[in-house]
């Protein structure tokens, strides 16, 4: 028979174990274009709630493949809505995705290039390599390809295009001058502050489909109150202000 002292020690251990389990980090799959902003969101959320998130960064398409193969993520922040919709359709998400931000596409270079007539510039001998993210797995790459197609220059410059596996790789190509120009997210300008000098032009959004970034709570996060808190935080005013600082628009904002 367990004596009183042992019983108290056992109860204390069980209480401690329950606390450890409940304090597990929230695993967040985040699109590559969020690489810098997610760090700020992570710190702000922790400060306001005491809850820690563990972000894993990658192209939206690759993250979907990982989730579909059993990766234990609780929340998915995609660079589009289509990938979260696919997860919902296949039973990996709990409910319909919500748009938490709208992205903007820019043309960018580490060289002091005038982008007033960038379409013509891309076809000159001065520009030898142009970086875009892989359109099959990266929504910003898909937007860039559609832009070039709508501008009527895709066929002319296709041999110059270098595909990055994510928008982060495109940004690296730009800052290291592995390419003369690249198409990336406007948030990259905030990322580059104090690190790299870049020159850019914001692309008129009428030339590509709106980049609506969708979020879902995943099946692994079902019943996780902390995951729900993070989900609501991303849709709230504190996160919205941070997104705006990085060049994003809230879903209800207008260009």
Structure tokens at 159: 């041999």
DSSP-assigned letters across all residues of the chain:
---HHHHHHHHHHHHHHHHHHHTPPEEEEEEGGGTTHHHHHHHHHHHHH---EEEEEE-HHHHHHHHHTT---SEEE-SSSHHHHHHHHTT-BSS--EEEEEE-EEEEESS----TTHHHHHTSTT---EEEE-TTT-HHHHHHHHHHHHTT-HHHHGGGEEEESSHHHHHHHHHTTSSSEEEEETHHHHHHTTT---EEEEPPGGGS--EEEEEEEBGGGTT-HHHHHHHHHHTSHHHHHHHHHTT-B-TT---
Q: Which residues of 7-18 are buried (b: 16+ CB within 10 A; e: fewer)?
A: eeeeeeeeeeee
Mean pLDDT of 195-224: 94
**pLDDT tens by residue, 234-249:** 999 999 999 999 999 8
Torsion, Cα 53 57 62 67, to 10 degrees, reads -10
Whether the model clears a pTM of 0.85, i.e. scores above it, the answer is no
pLDDT band at 195 (very low <50, low <70, confident <90, very high): confident
**pLDDT tens by residue, 132-157:** 999 999 999 999 999 999 999 999 99
Lowest mean pLDDT segment, chosen from 15-29, 39-53, 75-89, 181-195: 15-29
**pLDDT tens by residue, 8-24:** 444 444 444 444 344 46
Structure tokens at 190: 């905030």
Q: Are 166 and 58 in contact (CB under 8 A)?
A: yes
Mean pLDDT of 69-95: 96
């Amino acid at each position: 028979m367990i004596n009183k002292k042992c019983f108290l020690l056992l109860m204390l251990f069980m209480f401690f174990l329950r606390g450890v389990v409940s304090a597990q980090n929230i695993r967040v799959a985040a699109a590559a274009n969020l690489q810098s902003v997610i760090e700020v969101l992570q710190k702000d959320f922790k400060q306001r709630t005491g809850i820690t998130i563990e972000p894993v960064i990658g192209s939206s398409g690759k993250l979907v493949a990982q989730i579909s193969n059993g990766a234990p993520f609780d929340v998915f922040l995609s660079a589009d809505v289509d990938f979260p919709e696919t997860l919902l359709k296949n039973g990996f998400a709990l409910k319909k995705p919500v748009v938490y931000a709208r992205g903007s596409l820019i043309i960018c270079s580490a060289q002091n290039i005038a982008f007033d007539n960038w379409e013509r510039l891309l076809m000159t001998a001065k520009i030898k390599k142009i970086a875009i993210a892989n359109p099959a797995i990266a929504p910003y790459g898909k937007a860039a390809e559609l832009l070039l197609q709508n501008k009527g220059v895709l066929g002319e410059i296709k041999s110059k295009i270098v595909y990055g596996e994510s928008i982060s790789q495109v940004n690296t190509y730009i800052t290291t001058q592995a390419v003369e120009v690249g198409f990336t997210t406007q948030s990259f300008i905030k990322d580059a502050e104090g690190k790299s000098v870049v020159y850019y032009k914001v692309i008129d959004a009428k030339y590509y489909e709106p980049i609506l970034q969708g979020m879902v709570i995943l099946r692994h996060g079902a019943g996780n109150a902390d995951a729900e808190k993070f989900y609501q935080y991303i849709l709230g005013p504190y996160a919205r202000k941070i997104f705006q600082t990085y060049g994003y628009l809230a879903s209800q904002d207008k260009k």
